[in-house]
Amino acid sequence: MTDIPTRPEPYLVSLNPDHIAEMGGAPVSLSAVAEELKAPRFRLHAAAHGDAGTPEVRALGIAHEEPQTLVVSLDDDGVEELKGQYGNALIIEKDIELDMFDHPRPPGAFAVASDRPPVAPHNFFAATSSEMVLEITVKDPEGRPVPRAEVSGRGSAAFSFDDAVTSAKGKAELVFFSETATTIRELRVKPSAGYWGIVIARPDLSGMPKRNGKLQISLTLQPLTLGDDEADIWGYKAMGLDRADATPPAERYVPRIAIIDSGIDPTHEDLSPLGGRDFTERGTPDTMWKNDLSGHGTHVAGTCGADFNAVGICGAAGPDAELYALSVFPGGRASSLVDALLWCIDHKIDVANMSLGSAQGTSALQQAVARAVAQGVCLVAAAGNAARAVMFPAAYDEVIAVSAIGAEGSFPANSPHTDHHGPHRAGPYFAAGFTCFGPQIDVAAPGVAVISCVPSEDNAAYAAWDGTSMAAPYVAGFVARLLSMRPDLQAHPRNRARCLALKSALIETCRDLGLPDEYQGHGMPVWPVDPERPEERVSVIRKLKQISNTLAAEIG
């Protein structure tokens, strides 16, 4: 019998703040730990790249003489060796992977091919084939092809699913087995940019023409509507930010905002990031942040800080806000987020947006969050798209956790955004079906059919996306704008009290939407609070409801 060793994996090593050194004992330093990890006895536990050798130890925080956290690849025995030497003086935990909160799945959809049920076996010995091929052409109202659009279809059986991407001619093929022209349950198109998607339930394909044995199907997409001016976006107007544009202060403080995400495309016509850093180790850190492979960070950046340049959209942060891109994707881990937060401290960032997270937290991440807030970095995070408990880092008390809402009439009725209607509705608003929820939610913001910037060849593309990722930057920008326009907030030193003051100022603007508290928190921030309009005052209905519940409990 052959024993197969476990492969080393990355761990976070940080000091335990609750550890008390023995009388007369020297305090543990991470610099000393880093040197200790280079000792011969650790070499056999760190063969991450083939041959056993000195473990690769990386210190987080490029501007700090003493490391805040270490990242080291070790196997199980190496971890036990380290624990045995330092006891509870160290916190040793796995460097967990982060999720980018992008594109929530519609009910019953599969995230990736590996999530799909196994395909039923095909009988290659049958006299006739049961294969049905749909040749789909996607075009705009003028008949021009729409390339790079995701096309998918679902049949009557659980395994009956196929997807493809349209070519330069706007064509894609879907293949189904054991289906007919009247058993396909759904066809769906998700464009990369520029158009609303479309969903066709129970399509009747029996009258479609055939060519070379393939059913010929043509689908027409409607262009996105950006409005008459750059402020004419439903989320921007719902939060009253168009009113803020009309009352700029005589002297505006310029906030510094970090978008911790997948990078920002600086060539987009509506974005002017001033700098950033890449924490993915995929290239030159000082420039690789410009390479946004997924478009997620670019979309988030547009919602938060798009330029006021009379084209496209404008950002929630208002004019003149400074954007910085900190890329932790692809391959984001807790260590890269910790490093990004330390960068925010060193570069005096005012507000950091995190449209990312994990179902579990780590001590190292929690310490980094606390350290950033203690240095005056206001942290805003998306709650998550898993329709369950709020994810980390949004779940930490120091972080402003944002859930997602949608609004009736803000997207076409036959678009994929309709998937995200949740069971909780109040007036025109609904809690997005995908949004995470719980007592940690602080505020809600638009997160369904949010139109923002995406990378493209012509540097002028926009797309409508869904997710708490899209809601969080509205709030991050809103907080930054509050800071830019209120001298009382600017007067605070850069410390925890400043972050608490910003959070309090944000909550004071919230309007109770009538949704459950675990979905809306204090409500949706609306600018400004008008004392002459009681319906816009600070969560009055919610506070009265809380008082009533408290009194009832005391009486009972």
List, for residues 327-366, the tens digit of each pLDDT value.
Answer: 999 999 999 999 999 999 999 999 999 999 999 999 999 9
pLDDT band at 4 (very low <50, low <70, confident <90, very high): low
Predicted confidence at residue 248, as pLDDT, reads: 60
CA angle 296, 300, 305 (to 5 degrees): 145
Do 469 and 350 touch, CB atoms closer than 8 A?
no
From 469, 512, 522, 539, active-site residue: 469
Q: Which has the minimum average pLDDT: 132-146, 240-254, 525-539?
A: 525-539
Rounded Cα–Cα distance for residues 509 and 240 (Å): 10
pLDDT of 553 strictly over 70 = no
What is the pLDDT, as a whole number, of residue 528?
77
Q: Are 193 and 269 in contact (CB under 8 A)?
A: no
d(CA 276, CA 420): 33
What local confidence, expressed as pLDDT, does residue 6 receive? Answer: 52
**432 against 44, higher pLDDT:** 432
Known active-site residue 469: yes
Extents of the domains making up the chain: 9-95, 130-220, 234-547
Distance of CA 231 to the CA centre of its chain: 23
State whether CATH 3.40.630 applies to domain 9-95: no
- Tell me, yes or no, if the pTM score tops 0.85: yes
Instruction: Give the whole-angstrom CA distance, residue 437 versus residue 389.
Output: 6
pLDDT for 444-455, tens place per residue?
999 999 999 999
Q: Tell me the H-state helices in 129-287.
A: 234-238, 241-245
pLDDT-derived band of residue 53, with 50, 70 and 90 as boundaries?
low
CA gap 433, 387 in Å, rounded: 7
Choice between 83 and 400, residue whose per-residue pLDDT is larger: 400
pLDDT value at 377 more than 90: yes
Catalytic: which of 102, 261, 265, 339? 261
> Which is more confident, 4 or 16?
16
Which one-letter DSSP state was computed for residue 89? Answer: G
Considering the chain, what is the average pLDDT of its residues?
87
Q: Is the per-residue pLDDT at 551 higher than 50?
A: no
* Residue 281 or 200, more confident: 200
Task: Report the CATH number of the 130-220 domain.
Answer: 2.60.40.10
Q: Does 483 score more than 90 pLDDT? A: yes
Long-range contacts of 424-430 (CB under 8 A, 24+ apart): 424/515, 424/516, 424/519, 425/515, 426/513, 426/514, 426/515, 427/513, 427/514, 429/405, 429/513, 429/514, 429/515, 429/524, 430/405, 430/406, 430/515
CATH superfamily of 234-547: Peptidase S8/S53 domain (3.40.50.200)
pLDDT at 264 over 70: yes
Are 302 and 271 in contact by the 8 Å Cβ rule? The answer is yes
Note the pLDDT of residue 87: 87
pLDDT at 548 over 60: no
Given 45, 103, 268, 296, which residue is catalytic? Answer: 296
Q: Of the ranges 8-12, 129-133, 276-280, 464-468, which one carries the lowest mean pLDDT score?
A: 129-133
3-state secondary structure (DSSP) of residue 449: coil
Closest CA to 445 of 398, 396, 478: 478
Tens of pLDDT along 168-209?
Answer: 999 999 999 888 999 999 999 999 999 999 999 999 999 999
Q: Decide if 296 is catalytic.
A: yes
Q: Is 261 a catalytic residue?
A: yes
Does position 312 have pLDDT exceeding 90, yes or no?
yes
